[in-house]
């Protein structure tokens, strides 16, 4: 029941906002729908915690500890982003960058985008997972090009083509998976159900599965933003509206990684070796290193944080690739804290760019003087994402690094140098943006910074103390992934 | 060796698909490219129906009908309308080195057959020999997307790649489960509408559909 509510509310919201998106209350309606989705997700989470995993509707939808945690996270960040976008989009409209019709498109697509992500998380069918991922691309393409500037259209085109081609690879991987599954489970709809596949994974043909995993990893990896398939990501983040950057970074990348991890579980079972893990470690490590060095050369603040997202997604992929209880636990925790921190940073950055009238870092100065809350939000967010204790990112990065040091010591120089370079470049630039002299003016609408501090507060909490039920929940999910 | 008539028919369709993939690779007129795409869909739909008849897999009739509806009628119709509205119906793309591209295409076909060989040995379908061709047409469409610099041919290449994947699914496993196929078809259709809107946005922003203008966003 809760599953249907979680899926139905955003779908309905998308349709309603397509009809009423031009009215003055559209932003409030958007937030209200997102809040209802969040409430339904909480109800679903409570049910999974109390009565364990279950599936509904001929096992087409399936919830366990792993995906329910992502559903809760997605619904939560979706809700706070909708709160943030309310004043943000009003200011953009005030600046004459958006018309009423563009806003209608934005609100409607925002809800549909939430729907596709939740569908990808909740479906039990690997084929529908692919369909939902492709639909998530389609709903965000027009959001990236919302401003209709040449740069944003170029970014959206790149996003569409690269992710489209990437996902075509994933479709081929899914076909191969079905090919292997059909021999054991028989033809028909059930052969692509993840729960069924998971039961018979030891019998699946190893050669086909390994080939299938390579295609799935390359395909969904494009969407995770893994190097060298990451080219779309910085452009889409920098040229799209900031709320879209926040949900792309905070949520969509997680959902794509979720798809990779689900595939990995099957392949590990079929091969009984570390084949999938090695691939993920390789891609992850390459992304961390490459992103750190590109990061140091950026001039646009949103591009810089987009590269930081690539770096962190690489770190998570690396952690899941290493496997084992500690690294997987750390990977899940990192997914949570990165998603919260990065969206908080984008919220602060969005308002900072609006205030300064530019996204170029050299134009953003002295935030703490004119808008202290934006300045503090950005400074604390940057410290959190850089892995400073006591924030939660420190905890997860520490766990990832210690596991890597123990099991794969040769990766340490790469990881440490990359993290060091990222630290130096982000810290130096954020410092200049937060302090320094400015002649900026105040914003026409009061900015929405409560989400920023709520997110950072949660990240701080996760760094200091993980509540026992939450830890138990992560452990359950870890046991599922292995 | 005695090969049944239907199997010969399927093999011939596969050969035709490969031929069309090469034709698309070298076709410079946008209008002819769209017609080739429609023809590809038609052959795909026909061969799926033949497979359905031979193996009495009834759900394949549905996917054949779906292919016919979507890829032979609806998508080409949308594309024709678009190029008429955008006034690029008679556009001819300047492409260099068509012979080189064709040679690369040949190499890709060899590569695809090698890649498909171990899988088609495991497949129990009557169509297993066509898997290599399916993979080849996927790779050829990919090559086409890389070599084109205009928006519409790139999209046709993208759709042709989807056709190749569909053919691969049919030849390896007699098609994906129906619900998945319906979902994919929906995605393709919605994607086409979004691209339609997108073409106009590109034209307004760049004054042309030539993607050469899109090179601002680069890392220096």
Asked if omega into A390 is within 30° of 0 (cis), the reply is yes
The pLDDT score that the predictor gives to residue B50 is 87
Contact in structure between A385 and A453 (CB atoms under 8 Å):
no
Cis previous bond, A228, omega within 30: yes
Q: A214 near A222, Cβ under 8 Å?
A: no
Q: Label residue B218 by pLDDT band (50, 70, 90).
A: low
Domain spans of chain B, in order of start:
5-215
Cβ of B165 within 8 Å of Cβ of A207? The answer is: no
Give the mean model confidence (pLDDT) for residues A192-197.
86
Other C-beta atoms lying within 10 Å of the C-beta of residue A326 = 17
Closest CA to A304 of A394, A241, A233: A233
Residue range A150-181, pLDDT digits in tens:
888 889 988 988 898 899 889 989 988 888 88
Q: What is the pLDDT of residues A2-17, one digit of tens each?
A: 888 888 899 998 898 8
- Residue A22 CA: distances (Å) to CA of A10, A97, A104, A105, A292: 18, 16, 5, 9, 42
pLDDT at A441: 66
**Model pTM score:** 0.92
The whole-angstrom distance between A115's CA and the closest CA on chain B is 14
Residue B109 pLDDT: 92
Which pLDDT band holds residue A73 (cuts at 50, 70, 90)? very high
Residues in chain B: 220
Q: Minimal Cα–Cα distance from B183 to chain A, Å? A: 6
Residue of A nearest to B215 (CA): A154
Q: Can you give the pLDDT at residue A25?
A: 87
Q: What is the pLDDT of residues A334-376, one digit of tens each?
A: 999 999 999 999 999 988 888 888 888 888 888 888 888 888 8
How would residue A439 be classed by pLDDT, with cut points 50, 70 and 90? low
Q: Do A192 and B151 touch (CB under 8 A)?
A: no
| Predicted pLDDT at A440 | 63
Q: Cβ contacts (< 8 Å) between A161 and chain B: which residues?
A: 145, 154, 158
B126 close contact with A: CB closer than 8 A: no
Site from B217, B218, B219, B220 to mutate, A interface, most A CB atoms within 10 angstroms: B217
Residue B220: per-residue pLDDT: 57
pLDDT tens-digit profile of A207-250?
888 889 999 999 999 999 998 888 899 999 999 999 999 999 98
Q: Answer yes or no: is pLDDT of B101 > 60.
A: yes
Determine contact: B196 vs chain A, CB below 8 A.
no
On the question of pLDDT at B1 being above 60, the answer is no
Answer yes or no: are the C-beta atoms of A215 and A53 closer than 8 Å.
Answer: no
Residues near A301 by beta carbon (within 8 Å), at least 6 away in sequence: A349, A352, A353, A359, A360, A361, A364, A429, A433
């Amino acid at each position: 029941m809760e599953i249907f509510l979680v899926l139905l509310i955003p779908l309905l919201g998308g349709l309603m906002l397509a009809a009423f998106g031009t009215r003055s209350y559209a932003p409030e309606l958007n937030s209200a729908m997102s809040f209802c989705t969040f409430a339904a997700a909480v109800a679903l989470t409570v049910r999974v915690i109390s009565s364990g995993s279950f599936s509904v509707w001929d096992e087409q939808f399936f919830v366990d500890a792993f995906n329910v945690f992502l559903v809760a996270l997605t619904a939560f960040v979706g809700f706070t982003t909708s709160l943030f976008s309310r004043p943000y989009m009003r200011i953009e409209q005030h600046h004459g960058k958006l018309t009423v019709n563009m806003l209608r498109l934005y609100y409607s697509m925002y809800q549909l985008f939430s729907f596709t992500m939740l569908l990808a998380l909740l479906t039990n069918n690997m084929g529908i997972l692919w369909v939902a991922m492709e639909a998530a691309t389609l709903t965000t393409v027009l959001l990236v090009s919302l401003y209709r500037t040449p740069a944003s259209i170029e970014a959206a085109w790149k996003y569409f083509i690269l992710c489209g081609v990437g996902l075509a690879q994933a479709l081929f991987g899914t076909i191969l998976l079905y090919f292997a599954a059909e021999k054991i489970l028989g033809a028909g709809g059930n052969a692509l159900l993840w729960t069924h596949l998971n039961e018979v994974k030891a019998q699946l043909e190893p050669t086909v599965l390994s080939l299938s995993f390579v295609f799935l990893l390359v395909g969904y990896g494009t969407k995770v933003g893994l190097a060298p398939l990451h080219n779309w990501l910085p452009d889409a983040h920098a040229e799209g509206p900031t709320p879209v950057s926040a949900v792309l970074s905070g949520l969509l990348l997680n959902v794509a990684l979720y798809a990779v991890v689900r595939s990995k579980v099957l392949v590990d079972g079929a091969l009984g070796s570390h084949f999938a893990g090695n691939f993920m470690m390789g891609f992850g490590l390459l992304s961390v290193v490459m992103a750190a060095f590109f990061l140091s050369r950026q001039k646009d603040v949103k591009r810089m944080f987009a590269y930081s997202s690539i770096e962190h997604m690489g770190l998570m992929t690396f952690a899941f690739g290493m496997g084992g209880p500690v690294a997987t636990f750390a990977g899940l925790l990192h997914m949570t804290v990165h998603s919260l921190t990065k969206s908080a940073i984008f919220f602060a950055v969005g308002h900072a760019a609006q205030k300064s009238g530019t996204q170029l870092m050299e134009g953003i100065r002295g935030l703490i003087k004119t808008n202290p809350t934006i300045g503090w939000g950005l400074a604390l967010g940057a410290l959190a994402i850089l892995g400073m204790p006591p924030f939660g990112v420190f905890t997860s990065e520490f766990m990832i690094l210690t596991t890597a040091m123990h099991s794969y010591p040769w990766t340490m120089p790469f990881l440490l140098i990359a993290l060091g370079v990222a630290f130096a470049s982000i810290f130096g630039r954020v410092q200049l943006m937060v302090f320094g002299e400015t002649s900026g003016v105040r914003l026409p609408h009061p900015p929405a910074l409560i989400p920023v501090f709520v997110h950072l507060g949660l990240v701080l909490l996760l760094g200091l103390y993980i509540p026992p039920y939450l830890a138990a929940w992560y452990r359950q999910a870890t046991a599922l992934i292995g | 060796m005695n090969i049944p008539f239907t199997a010969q028919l399927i093999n011939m369709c596969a050969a035709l698909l490969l031929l069309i993939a090469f034709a698309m690779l070298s076709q410079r007129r946008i209008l002819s490219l769209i017609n080739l795409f429609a023809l590809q869909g038609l052959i795909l739909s026909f061969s799926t129906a033949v497979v359905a008849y031979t193996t009495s897999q009834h759900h394949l009739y549905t996917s054949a009908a779906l292919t016919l509806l979507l890829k032979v009628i609806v998508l080409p119709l949308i594309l024709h309308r678009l190029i008429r509205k955008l006034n690029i119906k008679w556009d001819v793309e300047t492409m260099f080195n068509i012979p080189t591209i064709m040679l690369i295409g040949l190499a890709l076909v060899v590569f695809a057959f090698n890649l498909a060989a171990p899988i088609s040995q495991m497949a129990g379908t009557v169509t297993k020999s066509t898997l290599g061709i399916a993979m080849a047409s996927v790779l050829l469409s990919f090559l086409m997307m890389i070599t084109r610099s205009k928006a519409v041919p790139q999209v046709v290449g993208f759709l042709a790649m989807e056709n190749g994947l569909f053919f691969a699914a049919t030849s390896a496993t007699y098609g994906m489960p129906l619900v998945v196929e319906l979902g994919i078809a929906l995605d393709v259709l919605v994607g086409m509408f979004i691209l339609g809107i997108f073409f106009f946005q590109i034209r307004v922003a760049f004054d042309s559909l030539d993607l050469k203008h899109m090179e601002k966003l680069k890392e220096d």
